[in-house]
Amino acid sequence: MNTINILITSAVLLSACGPKYGIPEKEADWPLDTKYAFQVVQKGQVSQRGAILNKDVLDLEFNAECKFDQSIQDCRIAGPIKIYQNDANGNRTLQTSQKLDVPIKLKWKGRSLSKVDAANMSELFIDVMQNAFGSLEFPGVPERCEKDYAWKTSTRFQMFKIKGLMGPGSFRNIHKVSDCQDRMHIQSQGVLTMSGQATDNMTAERYSFNAIGTTWVDLQSGIIIERNHRMTLESASVQSQHGDVIRQVIMKRIP
């Protein structure tokens, strides 16, 4: 899956106010069987106390097949997980391909993904799966498509979770419908503040991220069919530079 360019939204989006009325949230009509293609990019891993351990880039692709039953989605990795290496010019080269047969359980409450569980897997694997399957989560998607309709969210979605930064945080996002032809096109922009875990002798390190994303939603079912979301480190209480920590998820539903 090639990385698609994120549609750049103007700074007006973050400060914009939506209509003075609210459109009810559309209930997701999950199909019994669904297939997805994911690309997850993680730059920089963070320790539990909030220190940047490395600035390496983890770039991987995989497909998943899911079956929905009431509020549970049982998913499996379909085919190999492909890991890519990125050079200084941004060119991607396949480094390794490994087949994994891992069951992953998604627990839903409405449009909110309450838990991503993969038994006996590493913390890093869970971290990647939370980012990937978190792209399916989007509370507030309106019942009808109305251009320029906007709403705010302040929840720590699964897609926002970063191993090592699970202390207190703030997750201010604004979402705006930009198009209603064939499918609902939503642009999102946010400011996310995350922290590590404080100890008796040390305060928690804090990180500030800018977030931007585009989402396409099926008008009839309300299911996300494509999404591209990126979080980029802007500043931190530890010595760091812009972009030392990045999380990006690209998801496409496979027909």
Residue ranges with strand state E in 28-146: 33-46, 52-69, 72-86, 92-99, 103-109, 112-117
For 139-170, the three-class secondary structure string (H helix, E strand, C coil) is CCCECCCCCCCEEEECCCCHHHCCCCCCCCCE
And the tokens for 212?
């931007």
Question: CA-CA distances (angstroms) from residue 87 to 13, 56, 90, 192?
Answer: 33, 11, 5, 28
Contact 175, 155 (CB under 8 A): no
Cα first-last separation, the chain: 15
- List the one residue out of 240, 226, 130, 221 whose CA is nearest residue 186: 226
pLDDT given for residue 21 in this prediction: 53
Question: CA-CA distances (angstroms) from residue 151 to 172, 175, 178, 181?
Answer: 11, 5, 13, 20
- List the one residue out of 137, 127, 84 whose CA is nearest residue 104: 127
| The one-letter amino acid at 154 | S
The pTM (predicted TM-score) of the whole model is 0.87
Place of tokens 């931190």: 236
Q: Where are the domains positioned within the chain?
A: 12-254
Q: Tell me the average pLDDT of the chain.
A: 88
Please give the DSSP secondary-structure letter assigned to residue 134.
G
CA angle 75, 156, 195 (to 5 degrees): 120
**Residues forming a β-bridge with 60:** 40, 83
- List the one residue out of 40, 44, 54 whose CA is nearest residue 158: 40
Q: Which residues of the chain have pLDDT under 70?
A: 1-21, 200
Architecture (CATH level 2) of domain 12-254: Roll (2.30)
CA–CA gap between residue 211 and residue 161 (Å, rounded): 13
